[in-house]
Structure formats: C-alpha cells, structure tokens
Structure 1
Amino acid sequence: MTQLQRMPSNDSMTVAVLNWIGTLVFLFVPPLMLYQNRKDDPLVFDHAKEALNWSITVIIMSVALWIVTGWLLLRVLMLVHLVFCVLGAVNASKGVSYRLPFNIRLIK
C-alpha cells in the first residue's frame, strides 16, 4: 500500500470479510447484495465483485464437473472454494484488494 492510499475503515474491512464468509456458505447471494448496495465503498465493492465472479466460476465448474465426473472432482472443487474464500477473507481483513487465480471475470 502506497503512502497516498488511505487505510480503509474497520467497518469496510469487516463487511469485506463477512462477504467472503457469506460466499463460502451461500455462494453468490452475499456478494450480489453488497455489489448492488455498497458501490460507495471501494474495498467492499472490489471484494464483492471478486467474490461474485468466483461464485459464478464455482457454479459453472460444479455443473461441468458433475456432468463429466459425478461426485469425484466436485469434492476437490469444494476444497478449492474453501481455500480461496479464506484467502479472500484474510486479504480483506488486511484491507487490500485480492485477485483469485482461475477466476472467470464476467463482472468488471
């Protein structure tokens, strides 16, 4: 973080962390709500957008893996989902933006 950037408020960081925890459990619902309602907060908006893109990616990959392999690789995807949501929450708690690897960025 450069000196010109200000540290986000504790409220912003808390909401961004809750966004990732909600994404872990409810997939796209929490980030969609925050994406629509918190456009004035850059940190929350950025994390909500990334979590929403990740949720869409997980849904697409889940359907594809279900068709191709059944339950076999779907469990691996759920483990990856857990790890990426935790990484997003950790970075949100630090107040920094984070880009997930393997994320289809449909929402810009």
Structure 2
Amino acid sequence: MIDTRTEKTLAIIIHLSIFLSGFLPIVIPLVIWLLKKDESQFINEHGKSALNFQLTMLIVGAAALLFSLFTFGLGAFLMVPLAIILGVLSIIFVVIAAINASGGQLYKYPISLELIK
C-alpha cells in the first residue's frame, strides 16, 4: 500500500509525462498505471484519463496527417491552425489535470475518447 503523497506524485507524473518526447508520453503513464492500478483507485483513474487523452491526441494527429497526405498537402492549411489550437488546449488540460492530481482530485479531460475503461 502506498501513501497519498506517493499517489499524488505518481498521478502528477502520469499527466505531465505528455511533455516528454518520443514514445515516453505514452510509455511512462502506461507503465505506472499497469503497475499501480490495482493498488490505488486514484492512480487507476488518473492513469486511464491521461492515457485516453494521449491516445485521443495521437489518433487526431494521425488523422490530420493522413488528411494532409490525401489532399496532397492542401489539407495542411486547415490542419495547422487546428493543431495549434489543440496543442494549446492540450497544455492547458494537462496542467489542470496535474493541479487536480496534486490536490487529490480526479480529472476527466474534456476532449478525450474513452478507449480504456
């Protein structure tokens, strides 16, 4: 059993790992969630929420890339502003999620598919 301070710290790491590069934004929360989900309902909920959000952003990014490719680059004119808006919103939502985690509260991202239940 882990104490609440550790649970809060792990939940914060789960959310803030999105700012890392490469595959780490998904790997770190996935590993923490898989290791601790049965020990802590708090980490279970934050892990699912963060992973669902990160997977949603990955799907949206892949769809935007495909759209741009299939329109021979013309779709990029539409996708670039959308990507900027989603990027800014992502930063805001991640910071809000980390603040909620540090306060011991749960957070559900507003723009997120519920892929992991």
Q: TM-score, normalised by structure 1?
A: 0.84
Asked if the contact 1:62/1:77 (under 8 Å) is kept, the reply is no
Question: Once the 2 structures are TM-superposed, how far is the Cα of residue 30 of structure 1 from its aligned partner?
Answer: 1.5
Q: Does 1:19 align with 2:14?
A: yes
Asked if the contact 2:13/2:29 (under 8 Å) is kept, the reply is no
Question: Once the 2 structures are TM-superposed, how far is the Cα of residue 78 of structure 1 from its aligned partner?
Answer: 1.6
Question: Once the 2 structures are TM-superposed, how far is the Cα of residue 52 of structure 1 from its aligned partner?
Answer: 0.4
CA distance in 1, matches of 2:26, 2:53: 8
The one-character-per-residue Cα deviations of 1:55-93 (angstroms, maximum 9, x if unpaired) are 110001111223243351222222121111111101000
SS of the aligned residue for 1:80 comes to helix
SS of the aligned residue for 2:11 comes to helix
Structure with the higher helix share, 1 or 2: 2
Name the structure 2 match of 1:74. 83
Name the structure 2 match of 1:58. 57
Return the letter of the residue paired with 2:17.
G
SS of the aligned residue for 1:28 comes to helix
Indicate the structure (1 or 2) with the bigger Cα radius of gyration: 2
Structure 1's unaligned 5+ residue stretches are 1-7
Q: Does 1:43 align with 2:42?
A: yes
Q: TM-score, normalised by structure 2?
A: 0.78
Supply the RMSD in Å over aligned alpha carbons.
1.6
Name segments (4+ residues, structure 1) moved above 3 Å: none
Corresponding residue pairs, total = 101
Q: Does 1:32 align with 2:41?
A: no
Asked if the contact 1:13/1:93 (under 8 Å) is kept, the reply is yes
Name the structure 1 match of 2:72. none
Q: Does 1:84 align with 2:93?
A: yes
The one-character-per-residue Cα deviations of 1:11-47 (angstroms, maximum 9, x if unpaired) are 1101111111112323311211112101211111110
| Percent of residue pairs identical | 28
CA distance in 1, matches of 2:85, 2:61: 10
CA distance in 2, matches of 1:19, 1:43: 12
